[in-house]
Amino acid sequence: MPSRIDTIEMIDDPMAEILRRKTDAERLALVDQMWHFASDMIRNNLRREHPDWTEDAIQQATARRLSHGAV
């Protein structure tokens, strides 16, 4: 198994400038959109991997993954 190299992702200067120009509401809207995108992606992946799971089980597994196991 190949070793995993940790990488720190950094925003480049042009993108940082774009984000700085956004209002607080616009930044919160972006975070909300990213959260929903991530949840949808995880939920859909779980449905493919576990077609026999109930919707409740999928929701619980999604919440667990998004909360890093805190739920």
Q: Count structural domains, the chain.
A: 1
Contact criterion met (CB below 8 Å) for 30 and 3: no
> Is 8 domain-assigned?
no
58 inside domain? yes
pLDDT value of position 5: 73
- Answer yes or no: is 46 within a domain: yes
What is the DSSP track for the chain? -PPPPP------HHHHHHHHHS-HHHHHHHHHHHHHHHHHHHHHHHHHH-TTS-HHHHHHHHHHHHTTT--
Could you tell me if residue 18 is inside a domain?
no
Residue 35: give the domain boundaries: 23-66
What's the whole-model pTM score?
0.72
Residue 33 lies in a domain: yes
Residue type at 71? Answer: V
Say if 13 falls within a structural domain.
no
How does pLDDT run across 6-47, given as a tens digit for each residue? 777 888 999 999 999 999 999 999 999 999 999 999 999 999
Domain presence at residue 10: no
